[in-house]
Amino acid sequence: MLALGGLLGLAGSVAGLAEPLAAKMVIDAFGSGASLTGPLLTLTVLVLSGAAISALGSYVLERTAEGVVLDARLSLAGRMLRLRVPDVDRLKPGDLISRVTADTTLLRAVCTGGVTNGITALFMLAGCIGLMAYMDAVLLAVTLGVLAVVGVSALLIMPRIGRATRRAQEALGAMGAALDRALQAFRTVKAAGAEGRETDVVRDAARLAWRRGVTAAGWSAVAGTSTWLAVQLSFLAVLGVGGARVANGTLEVSSLIAFLLYLFYLAGPIAMLVEGAVQMQTGLAAITRLREISDLEIEPTTGPSDPGGTPADTASPEGAPAALALNDVRFRYVPDRPPALDGVSFEVPAGGMTALVGPSGAGKSTIFALLERFYEPDSGTITIDGVDLRALPLGRLRGMLGYVEQDAPVLSGTLRENLVFGAPDATDDEVADVLARTRLTDLVRRLPDGLDTIVGHRGQALSGGERQRVAIARALLRRPRVLLLDEATSQLDAVNEMRLREVIDDVAATTTVLVIAHRLSTVTSAQRIVVMEAGRVRAVGTHDELVAADALYRELATTQLVAESPVTASTEG
Ligand SMILES: Nc1ncnc2c1ncn2[C@@H]1O[C@H](COP(=O)(O)OP(=O)(O)OP(=O)(O)O)[C@@H](O)[C@H]1O
């Protein structure tokens, strides 16, 4: 399509190139007293057909350019959610968004202005120069001399435009990131009275983008003006030299006029060439930024159609509780920081509930992240039913695990959409069953539109306990073999506390439950408790064993766990 657009553009230009020749025929006809009809008709047809073909060519080009932008967006969008967690930790979401939206737009410039216009302009230039040579070689030499000076200066300017554009796009990305950060923490920003400061950060980024954009615009203007200047100078030079040659009879007036017309015609392709080079620089700046994303590794397909094949299969059938084992697992988030996990080994038997407890920063959530393979351990192995996680296709592994995050996010949308988020094919019966298991049936009955009530950001507010149970229901609908539950630290009221406990006990009857526990009620009903401290396992046992044997656990149980669960603590004694 680019070639077709280019060809049409070229055909339009050829018609344009022939116009001065036709004009010369008209003038010659005037002089010789011959009929004007033929030359005038030729001129008219050339003008009209040239215009029509050029318009079609530019439409084809623009259309193709839009297609290139679309392709880039589709492919980036496809990669974005498959990027690996560590890479997304590093890149800022706002900047990522700006690459998909703003930078891809710049690609259009490469297709239209850059590649094809550039090529068309080159052809036009060559044709024009050829015809000028045919007209008069001396005048051509004068013209080319002036143009060469300008060409060199334009070559020096181009890289500056590219650099300025790239830096402007980076500033735009920074602006997106700053905005994203402020909008993510919208209420905190307001509560902290930080609107002014956050606005300043966004504005500073906007001004930086502006300054760099202006720099690019400045250099573009210099490039554009110098072209125009060159044509003017050539015109004067040709007029001087050509006039003298007409006076001494070595050049016809009509040839001088046709030559001057070509000279003005030349201004078009030269301007196009310069502009094409400018746009090319802009587009290349965008490509550099898009490359940074497309060069990042992505996770293998995680969908149910994961082509990873059957793993060295697990003994237990789908849906049966699975056992987990960590063996001397070591992991650092950042190379020169202390390890988050420093030789962690423990086993989670199939079925029942195992609790992970320990002070903040002990590495509990990190274990969940490694189980989900958001990160890979630096050394050691993790197995599920004796199979190394790395031997399982990612989609299959994540299908075995139900993961409930600490903040238990509720997505904007209906309650039903939230529930079937991980299992879009779940039937109404399955949904009803899971709602009953997670003690949400009453909530659904109370909601104005039942399951179709909009919840989340702009909808019906759910309490912390309800959100958590919705998240558990969402995880259960995928029929996991292991439920990973990162219990919220925020306080639940007595009713929600009791319901959570019921839900966990209920799920633990059919599924392996590994819970990061912050509540005494959760801990005491666990069959096995793993006490972690500073990236290591400190002790493993039941509540009673650990109270008797482990000082840290005793302290946690009497301070942290109890303090966060006053109601249950008093009933638990
Ligand atoms: N994405 C990350 N990048 C770098 N360091 C991290 C990251 N996530 C966690 N850490 C660090 O790893 C260590 C273990 O964190 P982790 O979240 O596993 O602790 P935790 O026991 O779950 O704590 P909490 O109970 O407060 O959630 C901490 O020192 C933390 O600062």
Given ligand 1 and candidates 331, 333, 531, which is best to mutate, with the most ligand atoms within 8 Å of its CB? Answer: 333
Q: Which residue, judged by its Cα, is nearest atom 30 of ligand 1?
A: 361
Catalytic annotation on 502? no
pLDDT at 571: 40
Phi, psi (deg, nearest 5) at residue 394: -55, -40
Indicate the helix (H) or strand (E) that contains 233.
helix 195-247
Question: Domain 324-408+481-572 belongs to what topology?
Answer: Rossmann fold (3.40.50)
Identity at 202, one-letter amino acid code: V
User: How do the domains of the chain map onto residue ranges?
Assistant: 2-294, 324-408+481-572
Residue carrying the six token digits 């050394």: 379
Residue 338: how many CB atoms within 10 A of its CB? 10
**Distance from Cα 360 to the centre of ligand 1, integer Å:** 8
Given ligand 1 and candidates 92, 331, 365, 375, which is best to mutate, with the most ligand atoms within 8 Å of its CB? Answer: 365
Q: Which residues of the chain have pLDDT under 70?
A: 113, 116, 301-319, 457-460, 489-492, 560-573
Helix, strand, coil percent content, the chain, rounded in steps of 5: 65, 10, 25
Q: Is-same-fold flag (2-294; 324-408+481-572)?
A: no
Pocket of ligand 1 contains residue 364 by CB under 6 Å: yes
Pocket of ligand 1 contains residue 227 by CB under 6 Å: no
Pocket of ligand 1 contains residue 363 by CB under 6 Å: yes
Cα separation, 369 vs 341, in Å, equals 12
Size (the chain), residues = 573
- Region of residue 361 (phi > 0: left; psi between -120 and 50: alpha; otherwise: beta): left
- pLDDT tens profile 195-247: 999 999 999 989 998 999 899 889 888 888 887 888 888 888 888 888 898 89
Pocket of ligand 1 contains residue 365 by CB under 6 Å: yes
Partnered with residue 382 across adjacent β-strands are 326
* Closest C-alpha among 44, 109, 472 to residue 279: 109
Phi, psi (deg, nearest 5) at residue 47: -65, -50
Pocket of ligand 1 contains residue 89 by CB under 6 Å: yes
Would the pTM of this model clear 0.80, i.e. be above it? no
**Ligand 1 atom closest to the CA of 518, numbered from 1:** 25
**Ligand 1 atom closest to the CA of 341, numbered from 1:** 14
Q: Which residue, judged by its Cα, is nearest atom 16 of ligand 1?
A: 363
Cα separation, 551 vs 157, in Å, equals 71
Cα separation, 104 vs 108, in Å, equals 8
Pocket of ligand 1 contains residue 50 by CB under 6 Å: no
Architecture of domain 2-294: Up-down Bundle (1.20)
The secondary structure of residue 316, as a DSSP letter, is S
pLDDT at 70: 92
* Closest C-alpha among 528, 189, 556, 219 to residue 353: 528
Q: Which two tokens stand for residue 369?
A: 């992240």
Does ipTM exceed 0.90? yes
Q: Which of 170, 466, 487, 533 is an active site residue?
A: 487
pLDDT at 18: 82
**Distance from Cα 365 to the centre of ligand 1, integer Å:** 7
Pocket of ligand 1 contains residue 162 by CB under 6 Å: no
Residues 5-41 as b/e (b if ≥16 CB within 10 A, e otherwise) read: bbbbbbbbbebbbbbbbbbbbebebeeeeeeeeebee
pLDDT at 538: 92
**Ligand 1 atom closest to the CA of 334, numbered from 1:** 4
The secondary structure of residue 41, as a DSSP letter, is H
pLDDT at 301: 65
**Distance from Cα 89 to the centre of ligand 1, integer Å:** 13
pLDDT at 377: 94
Pocket of ligand 1 contains residue 362 by CB under 6 Å: yes
* Sequence-distant (≥ 6) Cβ neighbours of residue 552 within 8 angstroms: 358, 359, 531, 533, 538, 539
State how far the alpha carbon of 136 is from the alpha carbons of 127, 142, 241, 255, 256, in Å.
Answer: 14, 10, 11, 8, 9
